[in-house]
Amino acid sequence: MKILPTADLLVSSGTHMKKLQAGGEVDSWCTKCRLFLNHRIIAMMGSKPVRVECSTCGSHHNFRARPPGVKETGSVRAPSATASTATRAPRQSTATRAAAAELAREQAWEKAIAGRAIADFRPYKLSATFSEGDLVRHSRFGDGVVMRVIDSGKVEILFKGEARTLAQGVAD
């Protein structure tokens, strides 16, 4: 009579492999931004994402595990550094720890934007470049604060309850 929640066990087993599912996040090549970016999964085929929504530009397109033209082996640049370094939360992830981290993020976000004038926020644009601590207004994600400049093409912005890696400095 006992039903084991296998799916839950899989998710909370503490490995760094997050179980992919629709609504979850995955790194994908964005066909519009032409960058490797954080995407939200729209549709899955089996265990693989097929349709994704770009967290930066909001466009919907097919999931691409790597940039066009980059072969799985023998490429000059190893794409390994781009994945899985977005969050550096402690590994011992219990439910309470996750909740505490979320609360801490929320408080950090509130502290960063509390009492700031609308004029202090810069509208988020692909072509703009940001510095740590900049206040940003995004058309989809709302108000945020730049936590980290990853490189000249990417910034990590904390929006309400969620940090996102977005592109910056993209010339059209």
Indicate whether 54 belongs to the interface with Zn ion (CB under 5 A). yes
Smallest gap from Cβ 47 to Zn ion, in A, equals: 24
Which positions from 56 to 75 touch Zn ion by CB under 5 A, shown as an x/- string? Answer: xx------------------
Indicate whether 38 belongs to the interface with Zn ion (CB under 5 A). no
Indicate whether 30 belongs to the interface with Zn ion (CB under 5 A). yes
Residue with smaller CB distance to Zn ion, 83 or 104:
83
Count the site residues for Zn ion by CB under 5 A: 6
Stretch that binds Zn ion, among 9-17, 54-62, 76-84, 119-127 (CB under 5 A): 54-62
Q: 25, 29, 33, 138: which one contacts Zn ion (CB under 5 A)?
A: 33
Indicate whether 146 belongs to the interface with Zn ion (CB under 5 A). no
Cβ-proximal residue to Zn ion, closest one? 54
Indicate whether 170 belongs to the interface with Zn ion (CB under 5 A). no
Residue 18's nearest CA partner among 83, 104, 80 is 83
What is the residue-wise DSSP string for the chain? -----HHHHHHTS--S-PPP-TTSEEEEEETTTTEEEEEEEEEEETTEEEEEEETTT--EEE--SS-TT--SSS-SS-GGGGSS-S----S---HHHHHHHHHHHHHHHHHHHTT--GGGPEEP-TT----TT-EEEETTTEEEEEEEEEETTEEEEEETTEEEEEE-S---
Q: Applying CB under 5 A, which residues contact Zn ion?
A: 30, 32-33, 54, 56-57
